[in-house]
Amino acid sequence: MDRLYRATINTWNGLKSAVRTEAAFRQEIAVLLVAIPLAFMVGETGWTRLALIGVVIFVMVVELLNTAIEKLADRITRDNDMQIGTVKDIGSAAVGLALLLAGAVWLLALVERLGWL
């Protein structure tokens, strides 16, 4: 039980830190707050609603991992290092792909809801 408590505290601390320091994460929280009620209007089934909300949360998870990578890389060196730059670019690419997936899922759900598919 103690392990679960400590893990919960660590999770909360990580989320607070991300909210304080990362504009992109704050924007994604705003998107999530809009996406939750929209998912119930767009999604016709429970699974569709879950997918719509889930892909937004997935983007947030990838953003958190990217932020962790960037902060660790900055801790190693602030110098313009080509390899660290590549690592940061790869993290950004992961966020970009997650955003593409989220956009595709929302687009498909909207197309289905409007009866275009």
Q: What is the rounded average pLDDT of the residues 50-78?
A: 96
Amino acid 79: pLDDT: 87
- Give the pLDDT band (50/70/90) at residue 8: very high
55 in a domain, yes or no? yes
DSSP one-letter string for 9-68: HHHHHHHHHHHHH-HHHHHHHHHHHHHHHHHHHH-SSHHHHHHHHHHHHHHHHHHHHHHH
The residue from 44, 63, 70, 112 that is catalytic is 63
Domain extent at residue 71: 23-113
- Virtual CA dihedral for 94, 96, 101, 105, nearest 10 degrees? 140
Residue 78 covered by a domain: yes
Q: Is pLDDT at 78 greater than 90 in this prediction? A: no
Total domain count, the chain: 1
Residue 11 lies in a domain: no
Is 28 catalytic? The answer is no
CATH code where residue 79 lies: 1.10.287.3610
